[in-house]
Structure 1
Amino acid sequence: MRVSVSWLREYVDLPADLPTGDLEQALVDLGIEVESIVDLRETVTGPLVVGEVLDIEELTGFKKPIRFCRVDVGAANGTGEPQEIVCGARNFAPGDKVVVILPGGVLPGNFAIGARKTYGRNSHGMICSAQELGLGDDHSGIIVLPADVKAQPGDDARPIVGLDDVVVEMEITPDRGYALSVRGIARELSHALGVPFRDPADAPATGGTAEPAYPVEVRDTVGCDRFAARMVRGVDPTVSTPGWMRQRLTAAGVRSISLPVDITNYLMLELGQPMHAFDADRIAGPLVVRRAEPGEKLTTLDGVSRSLVAEDMVICDETGPISLAAVMGGETSEVLASTTDVLFEAAHWDPAMVGRTARRHKLFSEAAKRWERGVDPALPLVALEKAVRLLTDLAGGTAGAEVLDLDHVRPLSPVTLPADLPSRRVGVSYPADRVVELLEQVGCAVTRGGDRLGEDPGAAGVAAEGAGEVLTVTPPSWRPDLTDPADLVEEVVRLDGYDRVPSVLPTARPGRGLTAAQQRRRAVARSLAERGWVEVLSQPFVAPELVDQLGLPADDPRRPAVRVANPLSEEEPLLRTTLLGPLLGIVRRNVGRGQRDVAIYEIGAVFHPRPGAGSPPAMGVDRRPTDEEFAAADAVVPAQPRHVAVAVCGEIEPAGWWGAGRPAGWADAVEAGRAVLDAAGIPADRVTVRAGERAPWHPGRCAELLVDDVVVGHAGELHPAVVATLELPRRTSVMELDLDALPAAPLAAGPAISTFPPALIDVALVVDEAVPAAEVRAALVEGAGELLEDVRLFDVYASEQLGAGRRSLAYKLTFRAPDRTLAGEEAVAARDAAVALAAKRFGATLRGA
């Protein structure tokens, strides 16, 4: 929102000597972000004066028309002699008054003006256009001052062209639509500075008549709860927008188009009420306000043909849609240079409808920006009255006595506010009288009386005068955002001053640190990162077709998903039930951009809907929910266990002159699972890894991760069909594990360290290839007894000599006694016992035996 301070002064008595810094601080104190404050007097430096063109000599022989002008600038040039200036514009004649910048002046963009020879003549200065002065985009000709301008040659031109003003640019938050107007900002400044405010909407307006200004039918009173219109006939189409209005529009960043359209834009900026001007002669038959029908199209004023949907509101005549309601008008009914009969429309539209329509069509007009934030429904007739008066005063014509006003507006509901609630919530004492005073400043109607029951007035915050008293507050029509007691508390604090609210850091309770779950998640993340995995954070939203792409069975518990009510993307409206979908999407994106070697992990929540969960109960913000309300709300919230997942593809060890490297495979995913369990504090003897089967893993290359015989995760290579569907590299491997399913880590005992030397013995056992290596290892551990300190698989070998379906598993066994040096016979006996148990269980034989 950009507005000139001179415009604000019409409605609020700002101090004449108010510094721009104080103006900015006043707005910031009100919660309005100030982007910039520009003093236009400083944008053009040096002598900028009024000049009168004495004579013009047309210069020939050049590629474009050039004119040599003699301009009277009075005594501004120090001599009183006519100023010689070369100019290429053609829109002025001798006797016209123009704007001249003399040598030594500097235009916006640090463009310095001097005396120079050009086109064979000496030119001393420049005759300026609006664009050169930074007043607009018009560079088709120079500024010709109106004949009635009471200025003499040599007078300062800044006040005449509007360069003596200050322009404030503000960023308005979405809940303060009223501030997107001169009316709203002026009212706010009157609160901040304690100066009188004159409401531009506080003006008489002709009410609706039995005979409408134009026949209109509103078929959807939810999307449009008020529609008003007035007619002006016989307008002089040659009359241009007056300079004072163009200056204010330009300062606000709005382009001047034509007088009727400029009037609607001017009143939108002044009042906050968007309007539309129709060429009445181009409308065919009565108007109908309704939702769009399937297949309808509309070419809007920007020349774009738009396909409409059923949620869009449109204004139609007999030919079909002629305006995309509240967003932009249509080409077929726009005001032209020949328009003589103008139909002004001012309505009130549903903010949610307008916001969705603007985003759907990517058409963020100034009108839509205001509608989606909320517009005062009491403004249409006032805006029409002002528009009709401005048009008839400036361009003649006759205003019709008929006024259309279809009013279905429902008044805002009163809000019950405990008088001491601001004090208790904020920690500053606000007496009840002060609360009433501030709310009335906002424009609220406040009724005092009644006692609040069922709540301890001193339960929190600061006890205030009037504790127990209840206020009934009816918000003004221009504040649709005031719907809850918390909104009113915010207004009290804002107007009383945020600077009065103390900044107090809460005292941390002693002995509170990270929870066990937080410590576990950090340990897991640190462990994976130290092993070379890169952490990623993905969006928790997925597409409905993901479960089919992952090949999940029809009865898989990961198929039911929670649908988001207002998704960021209609293509991904569901919450994930597994981390693998978003994680594999990141893999595909990286591979598609040339990063072939990927090893990533994510720790995050998945969401499982509760069976039979309905809608959550409605809970306000004026009190603490009851235990029953908490329980009812919690029963609807989906279960959100915390998972960890990894995905890997490409080379895990790069190839080079040092060797062939190693491609990533299912074993790396399994090892990541082991690393997670180890970091989580689960002892290795409680962890089991065995063959399993679960989508989306390859049936023969999937491992189950168990803790105390309970499955907590899976790891392995993805199914080839999944790899093909998701366009992933071959042999892509993943692991997913439920961190919340892990038991609490046992108290870790200090390791027993023996000072005696170990005995190292290698064994190679030949077993069927279907026998899991982990089970063979478990048999060796059990058979070797207490002397076995460690066992590690260091080689897997298969050949024709071993036989079909057979493989060799080589283990390194470490034996050590805590109290003595082992004799060779003891170590061999323990080794033999371990091999014997493996032979008994799996038919294992020593390789080479």
Structure 2
Amino acid sequence: MRVPVSWLREYVELPADVTPRDLAAKLIAAGLEVETVDEVGADISGPIVIGRVREIEELTGFKKPIRYCRVDVGTANGSGEKQNIICGARNFSEGDLVVVALPGAELPGGFTIGSRKTYGRMSEGMICSAAELALWEDHEGIIVLPEDFGAPGTDLYGPLGLREDVLDIAVTPDRGYALSMRGVARDVAALYELPFHDPAEVRVDGTPGAGYPASVVGPEDATGAAICANYVLRGATGFDADAPTPLWMKRRLALTGVRSISLAVDVTNYVMMELGQPLHAWDRAKLRGPIEVRLARVGERLETLDHVKRTLDPDDILITDESGPINIAGVMGGLDTEISMTSTDVIVEAAHFDDRHIARTSRRHQLSSESSRRFERGIDSQLQLAAATRAARLLGELGGASVEDGYTHIDLSTPREPIALSADHPGTVAGVAYARERVIRRLVEVGCEVADHQERADTLRVTPPSWRPDLTDPNDLAEEVIRLEGYENIPSIPPRAPAGRGLTPSQRLRRSVGRGLAGAGFTEVLSYPFVGERDFDGLQLDADDARRRTLKLANPLNDDEPLLRTTLLPGLLKTLARNVGRGFADVALFETGLVYRPKPGAPEQAPMLRVDRGPTAEELASVEAALPDQPRRVGAVLAGDREPSGWWGEGRAATWADAIEAAREVGRAAGAELTVRADQHAPWHPGRCAALYVAAEGSEGKEILVGHAGELHPRVITAYGLPPRTVAMEVELDRIERVVAPVRAPEVSTYPVATQDVALVVDAAVPSGEVERALRDGAGELLESVRLFDVYTGEQVGAGRKSLAYTLRLRAGDRTLTAEESTAARDAAVAAATERTGAVLRG
């Protein structure tokens, strides 16, 4: 919501020394998010005055019509002489009042006005259009001022609002009242403890029930609320369709971000910005019979003002006449009944539609309008008659219309029930004592009716105002008191953490994993946990794959992604594709996060708990039963070069081995040694996929599957638009943490290391990891580390065979090993490898 400060001052008599930035700071402290304070027109300077065109000479011989004007600018030019100005516009005549920028003025965009010779004549200034002054969108030419605007030479900065301070407020969904000048002004008045002049205090006269015929037909929802609680129609006849929108209204609409269209439409938009009540105006001649407010029927269609023919949903609220739908209520009008430049009889509609219906309709049709934004946040349920009357009178004052005496008012609203509030409750919530009188005053300032409770002492009966549907319980009322009293007045008392408590083991593990992967060259990313069936199709998951069993959100941000993820890979792959698409060819990303795996037999929807008390044990158990398992996983993807090329030599592309190494990095952080075995598992390439296992602590050789790594399947790469040979890994961190013993710091030996190299020949199908494990087990406690440093295949080892060369590092903690001891350990390692893998020592 854009709030011009000069307009705001009409409703609150702010002291002159209150600056816009002071005002913004005050509103921010009270909970309104003022994003910027725009100084509109700050780039305009110099003399800009009223001028009267005295003479116009039409110049010929040029490619376009040119006029040489003599303009009376009073004494603003210092001499009182007529100003000679060249102008190409045609929409003004001799005797008109115009806007003149004299030499020395500077217009938006750094355009400086001076005297110069052009078209063979000396031009001493410029006759300005609205676009040249950045006042509003206007393609009609020069601004022609009304006769009562002022005398020639009058400064125009104030009358035209050339310079304005505008607060740009990001209105949160719970503060729909702030989408109006009226709502923001009320808060300002309360914050400064000044009188508030309510623009909605409109005298309503006329005959109720004698207006255009209308009815509301529709089922009530579960709460008993009607689809339209208040419906008002007011008519105006004899409207001058050619009447222009006054300059002050155009300027205010432009400052609030609304484009001027025509007087009838501008009036409805102006009242909406002023009061917060969306309005709609119809050409009465285009209506066919009585109006009916109802839900849509299956198969109904409507062409809206944006020239789109829309299929309506039975959940949509419609405005209809005998011809069928004419409006999607609260969202957009129909094309057939729109106000045109020839409309003389106007019907103004003001209504209070159910906010949930409007929100669903707006999302369903992908139509977000100024009206729908207000309806779905909740508008004043008792403002409709005042707003429609205000708009009809403006049509009469500005467009010469006669406001009809009779009007239609259908009121199906129910009065709000009072809320019992202990007078000390706001103080209890804030930790600050507020006097009873201050609590009552603040509640009255936001529009509440406050009375003493008849049955309980020191308890108030508070009835929230019609414009605050968000106030529903004592805590809401406490928040109003606290924010108006000032959050800054609540003392900051940091909580004291109990001694001896730091990060949990799980938190330390997650940090270690993040540091390890970051140190290995990976960049951490965070993805939304939402996916769609298309993501699973892209991963080439079978129809019965467990990862396709998901939880569906009741209110997804995106209808294409309504499911909670069961794997981290879709988010990582889409992030990788986005980075590659923006020119980053070599990418290594990782993410640590939860996945959501529904429990077998769990209910599809979690129960809704009450908020007026704590949950019972049974309620907590029912919630727990509906919640999915949420294991924490770590995923990583790589594309492009793992090692860049340069003056030092050739680079190296990322391969499946790098994905496995990323998984090993996670294992090292947890103190686990991963075992790698070939596997086939979507979305990886069948021949380049590894299953990752961890030996369970205390088990007799039992291994637990913790994840997979390798090169992605070509079809997955195509589906996600990834670079060729992209690799990825995903491991379940929680499972690794459960089966691995806590990491203990190794003992550091001061004795020298003994190294032994062995080369073993095995069948080509034997994994190197199996050979390595056998060497470890055989070498025993003296083995410090084992490293594969060479793989050879060729004639010397025979077809279907390979040679694996390892370096064994041996060390004792209490002595220097003898040659006999290190040789014995090597021989024992080779013997174990021979027994378990059929390895033969290469000569």
Q: Same fold (TM over 0.5)?
A: yes
* Secondary structure at the counterpart of residue 392 of structure 2: helix
Which residue does 1:490 correspond to in 2? 479
1:617: how far off?
A: 4.1
1:820: how far off?
A: 5.8
* Secondary structure at the counterpart of residue 460 of structure 2: strand
Amino acid at match of 1:95: G
Which residue does 1:796 correspond to in 2? 791
Residues 689 and 774, structure 1, Cα contact 8 Å, conserved in 2: yes
Which residue does 1:647 correspond to in 2? 637
Which residue does 2:734 correspond to in 1? 740
Which residue does 2:559 correspond to in 1? 570
Which residue does 2:671 correspond to in 1? 681
For residues 139-194 of structure 1, the C-alpha deviation after alignment (integer angstroms, 9 at most, x for no partner) is: 53433333455x44444445554558765554433322222223223322321232
Which residue does 1:103 correspond to in 2? 103
Name which of 668, 675, 692 aligns with 1:704.
692
1:281: how far off?
A: 0.9
Residues 207 and 381, structure 1, Cα contact 8 Å, conserved in 2: no
* Secondary structure at the counterpart of residue 288 of structure 2: coil
Which residue does 2:570 correspond to in 1? 581
Amino acid at match of 1:795: D
Distance verdict in 2 for CA 1:815–1:329, change over 3 Å:
closer
Name which of 426, 429, 432 aligns with 1:428.
432
1:489: how far off?
A: 1.7
Which residue does 2:199 correspond to in 1? 200
- Written as runs of structure 1 = structure 2, the 5 A alignment for 1:51-450 is 51-138=51-138, 140-148=140-148, 151-158=150-157, 160-162=159-161, 168-206=167-205, 209-219=208-218, 222-292=226-296, 297-306=301-310, 308-449=312-453
* Secondary structure at the counterpart of residue 558 of structure 1: helix
Amino acid at match of 2:742: P
1:492: how far off?
A: 0.4
For the pair 1:509 / 2:502, whether they are aligned, the reply is: no
Distance verdict in 2 for CA 1:721–1:755, change over 3 Å:
closer
CA distance in 2 between counterparts of 1:372 and 1:560 reads 33
Which residue does 1:456 correspond to in 2? none
For residues 113-157 of structure 1, the C-alpha deviation after alignment (integer angstroms, 9 at most, x for no partner) is: 3333333333333333333444333353433333455x4444444
Q: TM-score by structure 1 length?
A: 0.86
Amino acid at match of 1:499: E
Amino acid at match of 1:213: Y
Residues 272 and 375, structure 1, Cα contact 8 Å, conserved in 2: yes
CA distance in 2 between counterparts of 1:141 and 1:788 reads 90
CA distance in 1 between counterparts of 2:49 and 2:459 reads 63
1:427: how far off?
A: 1.9
CA distance in 2 between counterparts of 1:107 and 1:648 reads 53
Distance verdict in 2 for CA 1:449–1:617, change over 3 Å:
farther
CA distance in 2 between counterparts of 1:837 and 1:253 reads 80
Distance verdict in 2 for CA 1:134–1:802, change over 3 Å:
closer
> Alpha carbon RMSD of aligned pairs, Å?
3.7
Amino acid at match of 1:274: P
Amino acid at match of 1:55: E
* Secondary structure at the counterpart of residue 320 of structure 2: strand
1:2: how far off?
A: 3.7
Amino acid at match of 2:791: V
CA distance in 1 between counterparts of 2:724 and 2:112 reads 66
1:393: how far off?
A: 4.0
CA distance in 1 between counterparts of 2:42 and 2:657 reads 71
CA distance in 2 between counterparts of 1:356 and 1:206 reads 36
Amino acid at match of 1:269: M
Name which of 532, 554, 568 aligns with 2:521.
532
CA distance in 2 between counterparts of 1:635 and 1:607 reads 14
1:340: how far off?
A: 1.7
Distance verdict in 2 for CA 1:531–1:90, change over 3 Å:
closer
Amino acid at match of 1:351: D
1:476: how far off?
A: 0.5
Name which of 700, 706, 713 aligns with 1:713.
706
Name which of 757, 766, 791 aligns with 1:762.
757
Amino acid at match of 1:711: I
CA distance in 1 between counterparts of 2:748 and 2:257 reads 78
Please say which of residues 702-711 and 220-229 is displaced more in the overlay. 220-229
1:278: how far off?
A: 0.6
Residues 206 and 406, structure 2, Cα contact 8 Å, conserved in 1: no
1:88: how far off?
A: 3.0
CA distance in 2 between counterparts of 1:819 and 1:40 reads 81
CA distance in 2 between counterparts of 1:51 and 1:427 reads 63
CA distance in 1 between counterparts of 2:344 and 2:77 reads 46
Q: Structure 1: which 5+ residue stretches go unaligned?
A: 453-465
CA distance in 2 between counterparts of 1:147 and 1:9 reads 27
1:239: how far off?
A: 3.2
Distance verdict in 2 for CA 1:671–1:266, change over 3 Å:
closer
Distance verdict in 2 for CA 1:420–1:674, change over 3 Å:
same
Please say which of residues 655-664 and 749-758 is displaced more in the overlay. 655-664
For the pair 1:607 / 2:600, whether they are aligned, the reply is: no
Amino acid at match of 2:82: P
Distance verdict in 2 for CA 1:531–1:71, change over 3 Å:
closer
Name which of 740, 744, 751 aligns with 2:747.
751
Which residue does 2:488 correspond to in 1? 499
Residues 201 and 379, structure 1, Cα contact 8 Å, conserved in 2: yes
For the pair 1:543 / 2:532, whether they are aligned, the reply is: yes
Amino acid at match of 1:204: R
Distance verdict in 2 for CA 1:402–1:101, change over 3 Å:
same
1:439: how far off?
A: 0.8
* Secondary structure at the counterpart of residue 331 of structure 1: coil
1:642: how far off?
A: 1.2
CA distance in 2 between counterparts of 1:48 and 1:784 reads 94
* Secondary structure at the counterpart of residue 403 of structure 1: strand
* Secondary structure at the counterpart of residue 265 of structure 2: helix
Which residue does 2:223 correspond to in 1? none
Amino acid at match of 2:429: R
Amino acid at match of 1:441: E
- Written as runs of structure 1 = structure 2, the 5 A alignment for 1:818-833 is 824-833=819-828
Count of matched residue positions in the alignment of Structure 1 and Structure 2: 828
Please say which of residues 497-506 and 22-31 is displaced more in the overlay. 22-31
CA distance in 1 between counterparts of 2:556 and 2:256 reads 35
CA distance in 1 between counterparts of 2:534 and 2:257 reads 46
For residues 527-566 of structure 1, the C-alpha deviation after alignment (integer angstroms, 9 at most, x for no partner) is: 2333334433332222224445545566654332122222
Amino acid at match of 2:77: N
CA distance in 2 between counterparts of 1:544 and 1:538 reads 17
- Written as runs of structure 1 = structure 2, the 5 A alignment for 1:17-28 is 19-20=19-20, 22-28=22-28
Amino acid at match of 2:234: R
Q: Structure 2: which 5+ residue stretches go unaligned?
A: 221-225, 697-701
CA distance in 1 between counterparts of 2:7 and 2:812 reads 94
Residues 655 and 711, structure 2, Cα contact 8 Å, conserved in 1: no
Distance verdict in 2 for CA 1:172–1:545, change over 3 Å:
closer
Which residue does 1:12 correspond to in 2? 12
CA distance in 2 between counterparts of 1:797 and 1:136 reads 78
For the pair 1:637 / 2:627, whether they are aligned, the reply is: yes
For residues 615-669 of structure 1, the C-alpha deviation after alignment (integer angstroms, 9 at most, x for no partner) is: 4443465665555554443443322221122334555456789887665444443
For the pair 1:811 / 2:806, whether they are aligned, the reply is: yes
CA distance in 2 between counterparts of 1:806 and 1:108 reads 80
CA distance in 1 between counterparts of 2:98 and 2:781 reads 106
Residues 589 and 637, structure 2, Cα contact 8 Å, conserved in 1: yes
Which residue does 1:457 correspond to in 2? none
CA distance in 2 between counterparts of 1:549 and 1:630 reads 37
1:275: how far off?
A: 0.9
Distance verdict in 2 for CA 1:547–1:91, change over 3 Å:
closer
Distance verdict in 2 for CA 1:603–1:85, change over 3 Å:
closer
